[in-house]
Amino acid sequence: MSEARTPAQIEADIARRRRELAVTLDEIGVRLHPKTIIGDAKAKTAAAVDRTAGRAYVTANRVVSDVRSQLVSQDGAPRLERIVPVALIGIAVVGLLVMGSKKRQS
């Protein structure tokens, strides 16, 4: 069995627990303060945007590398047999867009 505690020990224990409770309440107050909540939300949003931007960069870089490998040979020379058809398709699409915008203006 445990020893009986003196009134002084009980008072000291109560005082210690009050200090611990005060610290805990202060921490809760800081965590629930609107500025803290807004700051945390901003930080989470910024991190999400950074992750998304990083993924987009990696994806775009991969696409550019894939397209480049299709249009340029290993030694860096352009592959005209692939570039010319792509260029013609691009010109045709631009021409169709221009003709479509002229029809809308009329």
Q: pLDDT tens digits for 68-104?
A: 898 998 888 999 999 999 899 999 999 999 998 887 7
What's the burial of 60, exposed, middle or buried (CB within 10 Å: 0-12/13-18/19+)?
A: exposed
pLDDT at 101: 85
pLDDT band at 2 (very low <50, low <70, confident <90, very high): low
Question: Is the overall model pTM greater than 0.85, yes or no?
Answer: no
